[in-house]
Amino acid sequence: MISAGYACKYFWENRSRFSRALALIVICACVVFCSAQVEHLRIVGINIKKQLDDDGLDKGVTRNQAISKILKLIESGNYNKQVIIDQHSYTDVRPFLERGIPVILVNLFNYQGELEKIQRAVKPTLGLYVVGRAEAPEPWEGKWNDEERSLYESYL
């Protein structure tokens, strides 16, 4: 923009009709392109504001929809002020922590103990669980013996 401004100044000071017309064309093009950029930024800003109004989460992702619903339910006061989340769900726990809601991550090895703890609570505790399938390729999941596979299936 600075270079275009200096070029327009140079063309304008040249005082020929062609130079001044060229300077005006460049200035008009800059105004049009800047206006288009401002409009684009306005639309992006509206989308960001909408996203921030919705707990800062993209509503298109179903985990985020679940997080928003859980937050609203906890804030209603009818549920325990903590949430239990399946560790393998890859859930963003930031919205809970920002509101001071403790997050308990459960997995194959600790879920029974954690479920026993929350059953003693006065109010019900909400949880987020994502159904999984033990279909990972063998090199990634390692060699599971029958006991481990049985534990995982009982967890599911």
The reply to whether 74 and 126 lie within a common domain is yes
pLDDT digits (tens, 9 = 90+) for 49-75: 776 665 666 665 677 788 888 999 999
Whole-angstrom Cα distance, residue 107 to residue 123? 23
DSSP H helical ranges for the chain: 2-14, 17-53, 62-75, 94-98, 111-119, 138-141, 146-155
Percent of the chain topping pLDDT 90: 19
Name the domain boundary from 53, 70, 96: 53
The reply to whether 117 and 142 lie within a common domain is yes
Number of domains in the chain: 2
Whole-angstrom Cα distance, residue 56 to residue 98? 11
Whole-angstrom Cα distance, residue 114 to residue 104? 8
Percent of the chain topping pLDDT 70: 85
Confidence grade of residue 84 (pLDDT, cut at 50, 70, 90): very high
Supply 17's token pair: 């009709």
CB 150 within 8 A of CB 156: no
The reply to whether 116 and 151 lie within a common domain is yes
Written as one letter, the residue type at 21 is A
Environment class of 70 (CB within 10 Å of its CB; exposed 0-12, middle 13-18, buried 19+): buried
pLDDT digits (tens, 9 = 90+) for 9-23: 877 887 788 888 888
The reply to whether 8 and 42 lie within a common domain is yes
Domain that holds residue 15: 2-53
The reply to whether 96 and 147 lie within a common domain is yes
* pTM as predicted: 0.54
